[in-house]
Every structure is written in C-alpha cells, then in structure tokens.
C-alpha cells in the first residue's frame, strides 16, 4: 500500500509541511517517488510519523527523537540508552516544573500586592514590578549583554 503525503498527513494528524520538515531533518527517510514525482509512503512511514508525533506530545526535542529513532532502527541493541534518554528527559521536565512553580509563587506574591480597584499610580503590582530586586542586573552583566 502506497499513499501520498496528503494521506500520510491525514492519517497521522500532521501537517504536510511538518512531514517535509521531518524529512529534511532526517527523522523520516527520503520517500519513494511515483512516475509523476509524488512522494509515496507505506505503513512503515505511518508508524514512524506516529512515533514522532507521540514523542513530540511528550515534549521531546528533535535530537532526542532522532536518538530514539536510531535505536528503534537497531532492534538488537540494548535498550539501556532508551532508559537513560528518558531518565534525562524526566529530569529536564522536573526542572521546568520547579521553575514554573517558582514563577507561580512570584506571580501570586505580586498579585497579593493589589487587592482591588484603585488608580494605576497606586497599583501594588506595578510598584512591585518596578521595585523587585530579585532580577537586578549588575553593570558588568549589562556590559556583557551589550546593554
């Protein structure tokens, strides 16, 4: 069974432009071509696209996906590398969750600075954004950032 790129897109819930991008990035192998030069795909490419889409839904980078696909393409290899990659990805997610929790605390503290309707010049939130010392940049940092 051979299908064109539009049907691959429909079957995998992916945009045609994304499929072409994954081909360009080497995540999908170069497809066969019809006599009319249309891209032709089979069940293996459908599975591969579903695999990529699922990895992306888990917020994996293209590099992580590439590594997993290389391992998938070598089925006799030990799966320890897969476990290590997933463990590393979990640590990255945990770090982002912690950063988001800190962000929520900061936003909540700012929100508590303004209890109700009042003139903007008396808004505790705006004053808190101006007077926050937690994000001050030293002169040395500004110089290295080109500020």
Q: Could you tell me the pLDDT band of residue 103, with boundaries at 50, 70 and 90?
A: very high
Q: Residue 68 belongs to what domain range?
A: 1-77
How many domains are contained in the chain? Answer: 1
Q: Could you tell me the pLDDT band of residue 140, with boundaries at 50, 70 and 90?
A: low
- CA 144, CA 92: separation in Å to the nearest integer? 28
Has residue 143 been placed in a domain?
Answer: no
CATH code for the domain in which residue 61 is found: 1.10.1660.10
Has residue 54 been placed in a domain?
Answer: yes
pLDDT digits (tens, 9 = 90+) for 60-102: 999 999 999 999 999 999 999 999 999 999 999 999 999 999 9
Is the pLDDT at 136 greater than 70? The verdict is: no
Has residue 132 been placed in a domain?
Answer: no
Has residue 142 been placed in a domain?
Answer: no
Has residue 107 been placed in a domain?
Answer: no
pTM of the model: 0.75
Summary mean pLDDT of the chain = 89
């Amino acid at each position: 069974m051979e299908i064109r790129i539009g049907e691959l897109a429909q079957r995998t819930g992916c945009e045609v432009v994304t499929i072409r991008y994954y081909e360009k990035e080497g995540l999908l192998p170069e497809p066969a071509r019809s006599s009319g030069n249309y891209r032709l795909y089979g069940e293996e490419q459908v599975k591969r696209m579903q695999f990529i889409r699922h990895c992306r839904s888990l917020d994996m980078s293209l590099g992580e996906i590439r590594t997993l696909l290389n391992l998938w393409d070598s089925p006799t290899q030990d799966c320890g590398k897969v476990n290590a990659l997933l463990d590393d990805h979990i640590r990255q997610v945990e770090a982002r969750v912690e950063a988001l929790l800190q962000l929520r605390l900061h936003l909540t503290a700012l929100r508590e600075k303004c209890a109700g309707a009042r003139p903007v010049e008396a808004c505790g939130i705006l004053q808190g954004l101006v007077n926050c010392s937690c994000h001050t940049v030293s002169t040395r940092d500004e110089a290295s950032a080109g500020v």
